[in-house]
Amino acid sequence: MLRIDATAGLAALVERYQNRRIRHLLGQIAADGSQKIPIRIVPVLRADLAEGRVARGATRAVATQSLEDAVDTVLATLGLTEPQVRSVVTHQARELADGA
C-alpha cells in the first residue's frame, strides 16, 4: 500500500521553489501538463482507490476546463473550428452530461 506524506511533500516542494539556482518560469511549470498527470496525479488516484476512496483533489487536476473550453480543445486538435460544428458538439455534450 502506497502512503503519501503530504507534509513532507509540501516541504520538499517549498524547498525546491526557494532554491534560487533553479528558475521556475510559469510557462515551464504549466507546459506539458498532460505529461505530468500520469506521474504525479495517477499514483495518488490509484493509492486512494486501493483504500476505497476517490482523491477529489487529484481528480480536480483533470477537471479543469469548462465544457465549452473542452469542446474547443478537442475540435481544435481535430482541425474543426467551424462555429456550427462547435455549437452542435457543445449541445450534444450537454445532453450526454444531463443523461439525455
Domain spans, the chain:
1-64, 65-100
**What is the CB-side half-sphere exposure of residue 100 using CA atoms within 13 A?**
8
Cβ(45)–Cβ(58) below 8 Å: yes
Question: In this structure, how many other beta carbons lie within 10 angstroms of the beta carbon of residue 71?
Answer: 22
Q: What is the DSSP letter of 55?
A: -
* Closest-CA residue to 71 (of 55, 48, 92, 89): 89
Average pLDDT over all residues of the chain: 83
Tell me what pLDDT residue 30 has. 67
Least confident among 6-15, 47-56, 89-98: 6-15
Q: Model pTM greater than 0.75?
A: no
